[in-house]
Chains A and B, each alone.
Chain A
């Protein structure tokens, strides 16, 4: 996948390298700047899990919106949460998406409002129940992240994890909240 941020940064660095040939005086300064930019990009990419990178999360939401029910179910992990429910089978995920896809534009123009790592104490954000407490304490997926999105149907809270081939997957949804 090509992330807009990465592509843009690569062009800037190439342009900076070209300029250094014409103006040797400022060569070392530009090289340093380019190196610093590269370092920032790479440290940024490697330190944040895929589920917490805004471009990856936006890409997931876009794919959930544009894909058909089967594609959306493929991007949904099991077990997954819907409000206070823990759904254990892939059929549950498929049923959910088959129905949600009948509501046109559910995720159209979805705007990501916030991305924060999920911790066990966040269980009440889904439901103040024993099931949810145990799920958040014992069974959170890899790199769990809470994502708040605004849609034309209202605000939703998503639980996103990042374990499948560098693409985040949906592990829960609550809303509209």
Chain B
């Protein structure tokens, strides 16, 4: 009889173990299921896999979570995810697939750091994705929307159909079809405006934003610093929450081991389901959310502030003592110090290059 109970214990434990293992396995599988595939490419289109590994994109290639599509001056790409989402990446664009968590669920992030990306979502399974730029984030519902990010970190959202909620610096504006909005870095969304079909020249808008930043680099850097600091604040707010959740998880795992010794395998798995697994999910969500904000800061620092630096340094190469350049340099160094001190430790080497 005793032997039979032990076998039953072992079977129940094994079953629970398999369920738990499958549940954990589902996390990367879910990400895999969300790969986007290239269905068309033209000109220079690369996929950045991280660790400096960059390859030319070929039709049929996947873009996975954490990877970026980088198009050159004449590059253009179309991606599809299943039959419900299509993504068009315009020339001179950096587009990245990422993930975060909100309200206890994983949420996909589509980041347009520079350039222009058009999205068409038909049927969204589960949580709708976040569309992110250096200055704002947007939630979508059955939508066609074009998102453009300029060299100064400003973004433009233009909705063709459906609706989009654009959020920046704690303020949210809802856009309906044929409406658009501009968001400057470090500021709440501006006034929304009506858009006539084909009425916006995105390259012209990008050029105008670029000219504004060249004219007053210190003001542009100051706006970016505000935005950067708000991202740092998010990271600093989430880091202790993640640390606490990790500590609890370790404690509960220790408790689970003791329960196994005292009460057997069945009790252990019951404890796991009730106490450990929810903490594993919580800890995982806290981790990816923390990563999301740290990567947002990295993206702003690398692509927007980096491009500003190269533009100004090369413009002032014969006049490096110019007060305009020196003022920019001072702000630039301040942002870099904050990045090195508060963001780097949240990122892996693979994420840095």
Which residues on A are within 8 Å of B, measured CB to CB? 79, 82-92, 94-100, 102-103, 106, 129-131, 134-135, 137-139, 153, 176
CB–CB B72/A91 < 8 A: yes
Q: B255 → chain A, closest Cβ, in Å?
A: 38
Which residues on B are within 8 Å of A, measured CB to CB? 44, 48, 51-52, 54, 70, 72-73, 92, 94, 114, 302-303, 306-307, 309-311, 313-315, 317-318, 320, 336, 340, 344, 349, 352-353
A89 vs B115: C-alpha distance when bound (angstroms): 11
Residues from chain B with Cβ under 8 Å of A138 in the complex: 51-52, 349, 353
Q: How many A-B residue pairs have CB under 8 A?
A: 85
CB–CB A130/B310 < 8 A: no
CB–CB B306/A139 < 8 A: no
CB–CB B353/A82 < 8 A: no
Contact of A94 among B51, B70, B73 (CB under 8 A): B73
Contact of A134 among B72, B73, B353 (CB under 8 A): B353
Q: A27 → chain B, closest Cβ, in Å?
A: 55
Q: Nearest chain-B residue to A175 (Cβ)?
A: B317
User: What are some 28 contacts across the A-B interface (CB < 8 A)?
Assistant: A79-B54, A82-B309, A84-B336, A85-B309, A86-B302, A86-B306, A86-B353, A88-B48, A88-B70, A90-B72, A91-B72, A91-B92, A95-B311, A95-B314, A99-B311, A100-B317, A102-B315, A129-B340, A130-B344, A130-B352, A131-B302, A134-B352, A135-B52, A138-B52, A138-B349, A139-B52, A153-B318, A176-B320
CB–CB B317/A131 < 8 A: no
CB–CB A82/B310 < 8 A: yes
Residues from chain A with Cβ under 8 Å of B94 in the complex: 88-89
Residues from chain B with Cβ under 8 Å of A106 in the complex: 317-318
A89 vs B320: C-alpha distance when bound (angstroms): 24
